[in-house]
Amino acid sequence: MPTFPFTEADPIQYPGPPPNASEVVIVGGGIIGVTTALFLAARNIPVTLLEKGRVAAEQSSRNWGWIRKQGRDADELPIVIEASRLWRQLAEECGEDIGLNQTGVTYLANADKDMAKFEEFMRIAAIHELDTRLLDADETAKLISGMSRRFKGAMTTPSDMRAEPWLAVPALARLAVRKGARIVENCAARTLELSAGRVKGVWTEAGYIGASTVLVAGGAWSSLFLRRHGVAIPQLSVRVTTAATEPMPEVYSGAAADDHIAFRRRQDGGYTLAAGGSHLLYLGPDAFRHATQYLPALRDNPFGTRYFPFAPSGYPDGWSTPRDWAPDSASPFERMRVLNPASEPAKLRSIERNFKQLFPRFETVRLKAGWGGMIDAMPDVVPVVDRVQAVGGLFVATGMSGHGFGIGPGIGRVVSDMIQGNETGHDLSRFRLSRFYDGSPVRLGPAL
Ligand SMILES: Cc1cc2nc3c(=O)[nH]c(=O)nc-3n(C[C@H](O)[C@H](O)[C@H](O)COP(=O)(O)OP(=O)(O)OC[C@H]3O[C@@H](n4cnc5c(N)ncnc54)[C@H](O)[C@@H]3O)c2cc1C
C-alpha cells in the first residue's frame, strides 16, 4: 500500500503506454472516472482511463469516507440510494477489505434552528422511505457516549455507511482492470481533438488516442480542461484540512458532526476528524469570473468561506496557470501530477481542541496524521452530470461539491449508461450543464 496521502512519489501501478485508439476515454482517475470505467468495462466496452498522477491521489482518497443519504439534495437521493446498494455489491466483487460498514451518520443539533433544518430533510426522507429519524437530547447522549456537551437533539440514519477511501478507490480501480478497463497513470490528457463539432480523440502527454467518446471526470481540473474547448463550467475549489487520530476507544461507530467538529470511526480504530463548515478559497481568475453565480451560497453561509488572495502557482485557478496550450507542449495537468495542498496547522490544532473538548476523557489521544484536500464545488452545491450539447461525444461528470465519494458508484453507473445511450433510470435535469446559462436561478443544494 502506498503512503498516504498519495503523492507522485508513490510507485506507478498502471504504467501504460496508452493505446492508439479506444472507444471511450475517461479523463481522471478519481471515484467518478474509476467507477464509470468499471461499469463500461463490465459491458465489454473498450475504455481507457487517463490519470495525470496516481489513481485516487486527489479528492477520492483524501475525503472523510462518509457514504450518506442523510442531508442529501432531493434530486441526488435516488442516485445515492442506488449507490449504497452498489457499494455493497462492489465491495463483494473487489474481494478486498475496503472498510465498508453500515454504522450510520448523525448530525448533532446545537440549537432549535438546527432541529428545524433536520425536520425539512425528514420530509424528503419520508418520500424515499429512509430510516432517518430525529433524536431528542437523551437519545443523542445515548447514541454517542462520553460527550461533554448536551445537544438539543440529532438526526440519524442508521443505514448510512462508511468506507476507507484510500483503500476503496484503488481497489475499485483494480476491479475495473480485471473487468477489462485500461488505466494509464502519469498520463495527462492535454487536449481534445475535434472535427465537425465532434470528439475524434485525445492528445495525451504520451501520444494520441483516437476515441469517439470522452468523459471529463477531472475533479478540480475539469473546468480548466474544458474551457480551452469553449465549454465553461463555473467550478471552483476550496481547501479543507482533515486529521486522523491514533486508535482509541469507540465513542460512536459511525460518522457524526455539528458546526464545530466532524468525526468518523475508521477501520483501524482511530477517528478521522475535521472542522465543521469552514473552508479556504484561493482567489484566482475563475473566482472573479464566476463570483455572481456564487453569491447565493455566500449569502446562505457568509462565514463559511475564508479567502486567500493568491491561488498557489500551478493550481487549477492559479493566476499564472496557463489557460491555453498546444497538444504537443506540456499542459498544466502534467505540471502538477497531484494536487496536494498542505494542511493548515492552526486548523489541525483547533480540530484537536474541539474533539477533546467534546470528549474530555480522551485528553491524551494524539493526532497521527493531517492532510489537505481541494474540494471541487459548483455554485448550487450539486454536480454537473451531462452530455455536452455543443460537442458530440463529449460528457462531463464533475463538481461533486464535497459529497462525491458516497454517491460515486451511482454516478459511475449513470454516466456509463448515458454514454451507451441507455436510459439512466434517474431524472438528471438538476445536473444539466445548461442550468448555469439558461437563466435558471441558482437553487442551492444542502451545504456540505
Ligand atoms: C477533505 C475532503 C472530505 C470529503 N469528504 C467526503 C465524504 O465524507 N463523503 C463524500 O461523499 N464525499 C466527500 N468528499 C468529496 C469527494 O471526495 C469528492 O466529491 C470525490 O472524490 C470527487 O471524485 P472525482 O472523481 O470527481 O474527483 P477526484 O477524486 O478529484 O479525481 C479527479 C482526478 O482527475 C485527474 N485529472 C484531472 N485532470 C486530468 C487530466 N487532464 N488528465 C488526466 N488526469 C486528470 C486528477 O489527477 C484526479 O486524480 C470530500 C472531499 C474532500 C477533499
Query: Mutation test of ligand 1: which of 14, 48, 60, 321 has the most ligand atoms closer than 8 Å to its C-beta?
Result: 60
- Say how many C-beta atoms besides its own lie within 10 A of residue 363's C-beta: 8
For residue 301, name the pLDDT band (cuts at 50, 70, 90).
Answer: confident
The minimum-distance atom of ligand 1 relative to the CA of 54 is: 49
Quote the CA–CA distance of 435 and 438 in Å, as a whole number: 6
> What is the C-alpha separation between 288 and 294, in angstroms, rounded?
10
Compute, in angstroms, the gap from residue 245 CA to the centroid of ligand 1: 23
Nearest-10 Cα torsion for 150, 155, 156, 162? -90
Q: Which of 188-202, 228-242, 289-303, 348-362 has the lowest mean pLDDT?
A: 289-303
Give tens-digit pLDDT for 355-391.
999 999 999 999 999 999 999 999 999 999 999 999 9
Atom number in ligand 1 closest to CA 225: 41
Q: How far is the CA of 59 from the centre of ligand 1 (A)?
A: 3
- Determine the distance from the C-alpha atom of residue 8 to the mean position of all C-alpha atoms in its chain, rounded to a whole number: 20
Residue 88 CB partners (closer than 8 Å, separation 6+): 100
Give the atom of ligand 1 at the shortest distance from the alpha carbon of 50: 43
Mutate to test the pocket of ligand 1, among 13, 25, 48, 63 (most ligand atoms within 8 A of CB): 63
User: What is the number of the ligand 1 atom nearest to the C-alpha of 373?
Assistant: 53
Query: Could you tell me whether strands 47-50 and 182-184 are parallel, antiparallel, or unpaired per DSSP bridges?
Result: parallel
C-alpha cell at 214: 470522452
* CB of 153 closer than 8 Å to CB of 14: no
* For residues 21-36, average pLDDT: 98
User: 66, 405 in Cβ contact below 8 A?
Assistant: yes
Q: At what angle do helices 77-94 and 31-42 cross, to 10 degrees?
A: 70
How remote is the C-alpha of 206 from its chain's centroid?
27
Question: Model confidence over 222-232: pLDDT tens digits?
Answer: 999 999 999 99
Contacts from 443-446 at CB under 8 Å and sequence distance 24+?
443/380, 444/296, 444/297, 444/300, 444/380, 444/381, 445/73, 445/76, 445/380, 445/381, 445/382, 445/401, 446/71, 446/72, 446/73, 446/121, 446/381
pLDDT band at 2 (very low <50, low <70, confident <90, very high): very low
Most confident by average pLDDT, 5-9, 78-82, 440-444: 78-82
Task: Show the cell assigned to 325.
Answer: 496550450
Q: Residue 244's CB: how many other CB atoms inside 10 A?
A: 17
φ, ψ (nearest 5 deg) of residue 215: -110, 125
Ligand 1 mean position, distance from CA 67 (Å): 14
Q: What is the pLDDT of residues 49-103, one digit of tens each?
A: 999 999 999 999 999 999 999 999 999 999 999 999 999 999 999 999 999 999 9
Q: Which percentage of the chain shows pLDDT scores above 70?
A: 99
User: In which band, very low, low, confident or very high, does the pLDDT at 305 lie, cut at 50, 70 and 90?
Assistant: confident
Helix, strand, coil % over all residues of the chain, rounded to 5? 30, 25, 45
Write the burial class of residue 443 (CB in 10 Å: 0-12 exposed, 13-18 middle, 19+ buried): middle
For ligand 1, which residues put their CB under 6 angstroms from it?
27-33, 50-53, 57-60, 62-66, 188-189, 217-221, 225, 240, 242, 333, 373, 375, 398, 400, 402-406
Report pLDDT for 3.
56
| Ligand 1, atom 19: closest residue by C-alpha | 404
Task: Identify the bridge partners of residue 242 per DSSP, sorted by sequence position.
Answer: 274, 371
| Best residue among 31, 59, 321 to mutate for probing ligand 1, ranked by most atoms within 8 Å of CB | 59
Contact 3, 10 (CB under 8 A): yes
